[in-house]
Amino acid sequence: MKSTFKLTTVAILVAASISACNGDSTAKNDTQATNTASQALTAQDAEKFLTETAKEMVQLNLEGSRAAWINSNFITEDTSALAAAADQKSTEAGVRFAMAAAKFDHVDVSADQRRKLNILKQSLVMPAPQDSAKSAELAKIGAELNSMYGKGNYTTKAGDTLSLGQMTAKMATSRDYDELLEMWQGWRTISPDMKPLYIRQAELGNEGAQGLGYPDLGAMWRSNYDMPADEFAKELDRLWGQVKPLYDDLHCYVRSELGETYGEDKVPQDQPIPAHLLGNMWAQSWGNIYDLVAPENADPGYDVTQQLAANNYDEIKMVKGAEGFFTSLGFEALPETFWQRSLFTKPADRDVVCHASAWDLDAKDDIRIKMCIQKTGEEFSVIHHELGHNFYQRAYQNQPVYYQNSANDGFHEAIGDTIALSVTPKYLKEIGLIDTIPDESKDIGLLMKMALEKIAFIPFGLMVDQWRWKVYSGEVTPENYNTAWWELREKYQGVTAPVERDANAFDPGAKYHVPGGVPYSRYFLAHIQQFEFHRALCEISGNTDPIHRCSIYNNKDAGTALNTMLEMGSSKPWQEAYKVLTGNEQMDATAIIDYFAPLHSWLKEKNQGKQCGF
């Protein structure tokens, strides 16, 4: 399961400046008035405004983070109300900051001041309209959707009431077609009630974005990447084009193997794959079906889940193990408060949001994770991912509050996963989880396992926001929400709903990030960036192994290079931060192709004579 990173309730993001309003006469008069007013403002006024705003932001961030933390860990009507109130306060402040920053658009200010002002104008993920009643409504909707997801459960035909975590575990391990179908359908019973709230949230978010000069909320989100919104969308398509041939061959092979397991009547070889058969509630990663598709004679001789149990790893020891990777690179150990205040296991006495997330409550040292850890190899990697957020948060804590974020939101998701790429057999042997390193003949199996997680995810990471951008632009209307969702899943993933879906089913709401209002392109970017970061760090470490065998564990040179980039926060355009580590300002998916080259050759051989495509 992928995590969401929520820096603060205000959710500051790096971005380019806001585009101009439309060119009608009213807008022209407003612009003329703004220009006249701006003539009276100076760089000194901008500095005073930025200094005062920074102080207010620090306090809002702390209050909002505490309220959100309590609501996620103690879901009640009261904590939801407190979280909604804090969210409304921060949202209204964010709108106020954005509008005030816009007054300096035509003032001659320093480059640093301009960057901070631009960040303020892009400070909201879900901008509220400039109306206190609508702002309150938007905050309440957000809290209600979060609570509906967190409390979601399903009572089976046998009468057992299951949480999402329990259903997810069954999806990962069951090979019973009908049981998998029941779990898949059961979880999606929680989301239809979300649809009216989501429709209204989209309306309010669009109104807020339009008030800031954008055509819609999707355009505002796409403008967060130090490049024009349209260019960003094209960049994602370019990167996907680099990866798609590898994905297509993986899809073809997996579909064939599933056809052998469940029968080609259930898995037609010329159709998309039924979504409930891929080992994951959302079919976003396929690692849990490795046993069904594993290459012959590729067993490396160990299973990380089993090795964790054999070595008496409990939830805390798993987190300690992940921390050890970062400290081996030269990073300081986590503070004692991290261990005192984090949530590691699901409480038996209350509802919590189990979705894994990393938190920075005070922009100093109060960093935490919140997840209901399961003692599996997959969760071991997720913990590395979450701690990547925490160590990134700590690295940029000395930056001004405006720059206490990643260079772009994909960076935050990529850092922990970059470390997880170094969780190789060589590393597992060094920390005592395995006794011997398998020879290169076992690499195909290990690469297959990795591809089922990483390559399988990439089109899903792309299509979630493709759907939302269409919703926000009005291209997809509420009556077509579900139909459009599955059209995009079939187009990008080659995955289909296993049964006929009602038009009002609202299956997008069964994925946390949709009701949670969390932009998803960051996860797509992270899957591209992590392989580039890994390749660069391996080169810095002096690695001579193939890239998929490289581990930077215990290499201080790699740690120093990584920290140099992390400390920058969002103080510079992401392209500059990218160049610090990779030497390039443009993302390049060839690192993925290099990493999986042996597997891709093997897949092409196995797919000969098969009908690929969907």
Identify the helix (H) or strand (E) that includes residue 154: strand 153-155
Burial 436-461 (b: 16+ CB within 10 A, else e): ebbeeebbbbbbbbbbbbbbbbbbbb
Residue among 251, 384, 412, 513 flagged as catalytic: 513
Has 385 been annotated as catalytic? Answer: yes
Q: Say if residues 569 and 403 touch (Cβ distance below 8 Å).
A: yes
C-alpha of 143 from chain center: 20
Instruction: From the candidates 251, 276, 384, 389, give the one annotated as an active-site residue.
Output: 389
Backbone angles phi, psi at 367, to 5 degrees: -105, 145
> In Å, what is the CA distance from 419 to each residue of 252, 322, 338, 358, 466?
30, 9, 20, 16, 28
Is 386 noted as a catalytic residue in this protein?
yes
User: Hey, is 101 helix, strand or coil?
Assistant: helix
User: 423 phi and psi, to 5 degrees?
Assistant: -80, 70
Identified catalytic residue from 523, 553, 578, 595: 523
Q: At what angle do helices 597-606 and 229-262 cross, to 10 degrees?
A: 50
Considering the candidates 385, 527, 534, 548, report the single residue annotated as catalytic: 385
* Burial 350-380, CB ≥16 within 10 A → b, else e: ebbbbbbbbbbbebebbbbbbbbbbebbbbb
513 is catalytic: yes
| Radius of gyration for the chain, computed over Cα atoms and rounded to the nearest angstrom | 24
Cα of 452 vs its chain's centroid, Å: 17
Q: Catalytic residue at 389?
A: yes
Catalytic residue among 137, 182, 379, 413: 413
Catalytic entry in 386, 453, 490, 532: 386
* DSSP assignment string, 524-556: HHHHHHHHHHHHHHHHHHT--S-GGG---TT-H
Q: Which residues are catalytic?
A: 355-356, 385-386, 389, 413, 513, 523
